[in-house]
Chain A
Amino acid sequence: DAGVIQSPRHEVTEMGQEVTLRCKPISGHNSLFWYRQTMMRGLELLIYFNNNVPIDDSGMPEDRFSAKMPNASFSTLKIQPSEPRDSAVYFCASSPLPPGHSSYEQYFGPGTRLTVT
């Protein structure tokens, strides 16, 4: 298996522009997670899905952020409009286990490094 696939790997955009990050989870995994990592705040969970349904989006910083999972093999995280403080590495992860299970093995993608100028 190719693992979790994210695109693009790097994104540089100007403040105010729309940014869309993409993720393809590992086939057969039914849970998908979006994280953001910065030096100041570390690794934060933004939102996660189970069977394509958003379960908890309490980590989404504000309304400028939205995430969708139209099918089991694809998810997007959109930022509109983007701001410099959104600059971070965004990770997507998937898991074969449903949320609430005591075993927390998640498989992370390589991340998208977003720079908003």
Chain B
Amino acid sequence: LAKTTQPISMDSYEGQEVNITCSHNNIATNDYITWYQQFPSQGPRFIIQGYKTKVTNEVASLFIPADRKSSTLSLPRVSLSDTAVYYCLVGVYNQGGKLIFGQGTELSVKP
């Protein structure tokens, strides 16, 4: 089981770029790296997933170095509405589809 480590909390201001790094030293060859976002009083929401190098969608970018032992979620020009908890998940392929959520990173965006 690949354990993930990410900062418990981060603060940012509107308009800034936010980078949240996740460590996953024991990632397996077939594992993907997935990030979820959870707003207060809502269920988690899938935001991005990648295997290596860089992935970008309309919400975020995901940077994965060659060794895949870490990944960085990048949120460009955050707004107040990006205040949420961000979860990094990896290493569940061999457990048959389980998503194992860590404690996540609580991002607070201030005006």
Contact = CB atoms under 8 A, between A and B. Distances in A.
- With most chain A CB atoms within 10 A of its CB, the pick from B32, B92, B99 is B99
Contact of B96 (A43, A95, A99): A99
A56 B89 contact: no
Nearest to B104: A42
Interface stretch (B9-17, B18-26, B40-48, B67-75): B40-48
Interface in A85-117: 91, 93, 95, 97-111
Nearest to B51: A102
B32 A104 contact: yes
Interface string A14-45: 00000000000000000101000000001111
Contacts, number: 67
A102 B94 CA distance: 9
A98 to B, nearest CB: 7
B82 interface: no
Given A102-B32, A103-B32, A104-B89, A45 B42 contact: no
B81 interface: no
A45 B31 contact: no
A31 B97 CA distance: 9
Contacts of A111: 41-43
A12 interface: no
A53 B57 CA distance: 34
A109 B43 contact: yes
A45 B92 CA distance: 12
Interface in B54-98: 87, 89, 92-93, 96-98
B53 interface: no
A52 B21 CA distance: 37
A102 B31 contact: yes
B96 A55 contact: yes
Contacts of A98: 97
A48 B103 contact: no
Contacts of A55: 96-97
Interface of A: 4, 31, 33, 42-45, 48, 50, 55-56, 91, 93, 95, 97-111
